[in-house]
């Protein structure tokens, strides 16, 4: 009897996680879904903020100062070394693995996600992301860097990929009338995760630090447990609409009215065979390549371009004393925080604007305006105009974030919504590629310039022009995008088979499917938004306080 009861309990748990159990019933309020997506994205978005751990971890053994490894110790030696500290450059490999595995896991598991549903994918994402942090905490405790790479880099990176794409298809289906806004709300959370996580990590490390510990391992454990709570709540709150559902009073646009919005769906197996997929892939890759390198070098770039001018002293950065260098470092931290705000705000603003302007026109703005801003940035720097330089990069970073948030809606317009989550997962390999080439272009070209005698204040001039050229190439790719040819679109019979395989319930009819959003309790919606809105507001307040230093 106990065996039978156990089997029933196991079956009930599996059934609870099935896609069929997430199909919303009559009266469900679609505005409950974005907070669920934000609960997951705000947690995994801490990947952007992991650099807050680098300096403490670089003295995990020495505590007060780094304990250098013996001469000749290479990267492989640092993987297993226990008696010396890791270099910051070594720790940075974890950041690289994040985005390599984010893109690759999203591509590999995207098809499974469409069949399994967002609830199961969200919980697997939680297990990978939080479990990876616990493995990393063990790696810090044992001082084994390979465990950190395995934990947060590989396992956590897989969790990033699943968590990132888990709400995309769901939100687009809940908001066919506002696709850009819906995905913008969720993906805004990924950009905002570091705004919450970084100051929280600083507080926890200060709390856990002792004479024998820098407090990072304990911080990893605490944050993993907190993130597990939020991500589980978000995953369990996911609901999907029945196939064919649409908002009350909304009529899909006629194909003739907007040829760029497809009225039929393209199968996942055919999407990558179309030129449109690879053109959008190039559009995303080029936009991200141009922006991601700037994010990684924002602080040193501002300091090296303006030097003492940031504090009213006419001197290059190398000529400043320790006190002056600390002052401009604080200002540069404010600059980085300001860029984060525009990165996040741009995700919602530009994605929402794309609902009015169209995705193709929105990306055209990104590339035209971005090219002009990159090309003019060196002149603003040489003229000593801190305001123009700062403003240019704030706009650039808003469009960097906007590119991420707009691309899922772009894919839905071109390929339909049936497989958009999986198609988006495959497209994110562009992010993996950009995550490698963007920093390489900015970092190594800077070192090359300085190595050949170029002053640090001018070392970014050529880089900015190269990034502008990348955006010109992106503009051309975007210009070439046309509606997908009918031969790639699924017939009604093929669509029915695909929905059956995906275990989707088809709405009985338009009248029964168009349930008014107000049927669910408003209080429940308010509680859900407060649960994610309060932490986000706290993170924004922390970032604004740091950014305010820039204007003092």
Is 387 exposed, middle or buried (CB count within 10 Å of its CB: 0-12, 13-18, 19+)?
Answer: exposed
pTM for the full predicted model: 0.84
In the block, tokens 């141009």 appear at 290
Mean per-residue pLDDT for 49-74?
Answer: 84
- Residue 240: strand, helix, or coil: strand
In this predicted model, which residue has the larger pLDDT, 265 or 1?
A: 265
**For residue 285, pLDDT beyond 50:** yes
Query: pLDDT tens digits, residue range 10-23?
Result: 445 556 778 888 88
Q: What is the CATH topology of the domain spanning 28-64+86-241?
A: Growth Hormone; Chain: A; (1.20.1250)
Mean confidence (pLDDT) of the chain: 85
CATH number for the domain running over 259-507: 1.20.1250.20
Query: pLDDT tens digits, residue range 295-312?
Result: 766 777 888 788 888 888
Q: Which of 20-29, 61-70, 365-374, 434-443 has the lowest mean pLDDT?
A: 434-443
Q: Which of 155-159, 237-241, 454-458 has the lowest mean pLDDT?
A: 454-458
Instruction: Report yes or no: 166 and 40 within 8 Å, Cβ to Cβ.
Output: yes
pLDDT class of 63 with cuts at 50, 70, 90: confident
214: left (phi over 0), alpha (psi -120 to 50) or beta: alpha
Q: What are the residue boundaries of the structural domains of the chain, listed by start? A: 28-64+86-241, 259-507
In the block, tokens 């290479």 appear at 74
Percent of the chain whose predicted confidence (pLDDT) is above 70: 92
- The per-residue pLDDT for 502 is 67
Q: Distance from first CA to last CA of the chain, Å, rounded? A: 73
Mean per-residue pLDDT for 79-96?
Answer: 83
Mean per-residue pLDDT for 1-9?
Answer: 48
In this predicted model, which residue has the larger pLDDT, 490 or 451?
A: 490
Mean per-residue pLDDT for 31-58?
Answer: 90
Q: What whole-number distance in Å separates Cα of residue 360 and Cα of residue 231?
A: 33
Q: What whole-number distance in Å separates Cα of residue 178 and Cα of residue 185?
A: 11
In this predicted model, which residue has the larger pLDDT, 316 or 346?
A: 346
In the block, tokens 């009529």 appear at 251
- Residue 532: strand, helix, or coil: helix
Q: What whole-number distance in Å separates Cα of residue 526 and Cα of residue 529?
A: 5
- The per-residue pLDDT for 506 is 55
- The per-residue pLDDT for 9 is 47
Structure tokens at 7: 């089997």
Instruction: Report yes or no: 390 and 337 within 8 Å, Cβ to Cβ.
Output: no
Rg (C-alpha) for the chain, rounded Å, is: 24
Q: Let me know if the fold of 28-64+86-241 is the same as that of 259-507.
A: yes
Give the range with max mean pLDDT: 129-138, 172-181, 437-446.
Answer: 129-138
Instruction: Report yes or no: 413 and 260 within 8 Å, Cβ to Cβ.
Output: yes
Q: What is the DSSP string of 4-27?
A: HHHHHHHHHHHHHHSGGGGB--TT
Instruction: Report yes or no: 162 and 113 within 8 Å, Cβ to Cβ.
Output: yes
Q: Give Cα separations from 453 to 321, 457, 462 (angstroms).
A: 23, 12, 14
Percent of the chain whose predicted confidence (pLDDT) is above 90: 41
Q: What whole-number distance in Å separates Cα of residue 147 and Cα of residue 167?
A: 30
| Phi and psi, residue 272, nearest 5° | -75, -5
Q: Which of 153-162, 265-274, 332-341, 350-359 has the lowest mean pLDDT?
A: 332-341
**For residue 110, pLDDT beyond 80:** yes
- The per-residue pLDDT for 73 is 79
| Phi and psi, residue 23, nearest 5° | -70, 125
pLDDT class of 181 with cuts at 50, 70, 90: very high
**Packing angle, helices 33-44 and 179-208, rounded to 10:** 40
- The per-residue pLDDT for 258 is 55
């Amino acid at each position: 009897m106990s065996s039978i009861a156990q089997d029933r309990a196991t079956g009930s748990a599996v059934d609870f996680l099935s896609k069929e159990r997430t199909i919303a019933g009559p009266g469900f309020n679609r505005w409950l879904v974005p907070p669920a997506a934000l609960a997951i994205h705000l947690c995994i978005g801490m990947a952007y903020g992991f650099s807050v751990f680098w300096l403490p971890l670089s003295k995990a053994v020495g505590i007060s100062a780094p304990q250098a490894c013996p001469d000749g110790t290479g990267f492989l030696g640092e993987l297993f070394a226990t008696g010396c500290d890791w270099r910051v450059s070594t720790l940075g490999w974890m950041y690289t693995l994040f985005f390599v595995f984010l893109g690759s896991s999203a591509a590999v598991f995207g098809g499974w996600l469409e069949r399994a549903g967002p609830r199961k994918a969200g919980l697997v994402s939680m297990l990978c992301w939080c479990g990876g942090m616990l493995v990393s905490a063990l790696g810090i405790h044992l001082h084994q860097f390979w465990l950190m790479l395995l934990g947060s880099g590989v396992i956590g990176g897989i969790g990033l990929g699943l968590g990132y794409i888990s709400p995309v298809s769901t939100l687009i289906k809940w908001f066919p009338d506002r696709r850009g806004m819906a995905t913008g709300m969720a993906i805004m959370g990924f950009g905002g995760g570091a705004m919450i996580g970084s100051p929280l990590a600083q507080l926890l490390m200060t709390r856990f630090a002792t004479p024998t510990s820098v407090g990072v391992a304990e911080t990893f454990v605490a944050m993993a447990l907190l993130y597990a709570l939020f991500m589980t709540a978000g995953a369990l709150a996911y609901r999907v609409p029945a196939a064919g559902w649409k908002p009350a009073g909304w009529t899909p646009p006629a194909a003739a009215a907007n040829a760029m919005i497809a009225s039929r769906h393209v199968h996942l197996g055919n999407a990558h065979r179309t030129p449109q997929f690879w053109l959008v892939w190039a559009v995303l890759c080029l936009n991200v390549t141009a922006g991601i390198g700037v994010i990684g070098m924002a602080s040193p770039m501002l300091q090296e371009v303006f030097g003492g001018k940031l504090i009213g002293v006419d001197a290059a950065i190398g000529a400043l004393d320790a006190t002056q260098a600390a002052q401009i470092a604080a200002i540069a931290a404010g600059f980085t925080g300001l860029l984060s705000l525009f990165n996040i705000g741009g995700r919602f603003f530009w994605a929402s604007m794309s609902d009015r302007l169209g995705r193709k026109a929105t990306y055209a703005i990104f590339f035209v305006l971005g090219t002009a801003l990159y090309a003019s940035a060196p002149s603003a720097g040489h003229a000593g105009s801190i305001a123009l330089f700062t403003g240019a990069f704030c706009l650039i970073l808003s469009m960097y974030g906007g590119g991420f948030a707009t691309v899922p809606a772009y894919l839905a317009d071109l390929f339909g919504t049936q497989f958009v989550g999986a198609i988006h997962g495959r497209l994110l390999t562009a992010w993996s590629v950009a995550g490698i080439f963007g920093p390489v272009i900015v970092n190594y070209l800077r070192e090359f310039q300085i190595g050949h005698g170029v002053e640090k204040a001018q070392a970014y001039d050529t880089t900015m022009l190269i990034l502008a050229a990348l955006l010109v190439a992106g503009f051309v790719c975007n210009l070439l995008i046309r509606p997908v040819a009918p031969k790639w679109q699924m017939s009604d019979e093929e669509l029915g088979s695909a929905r059956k395989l995906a275990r989707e319930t088809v709405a009985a009819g338009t009248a029964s499917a168009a349930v008014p959003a107000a049927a669910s309790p408003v209080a429940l919606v308010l509680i859900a938004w407060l649960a994610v809105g309060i932490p986000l507001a706290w993170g924004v307040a922390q970032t604004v306080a740091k950014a305010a230093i820039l204007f003092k």
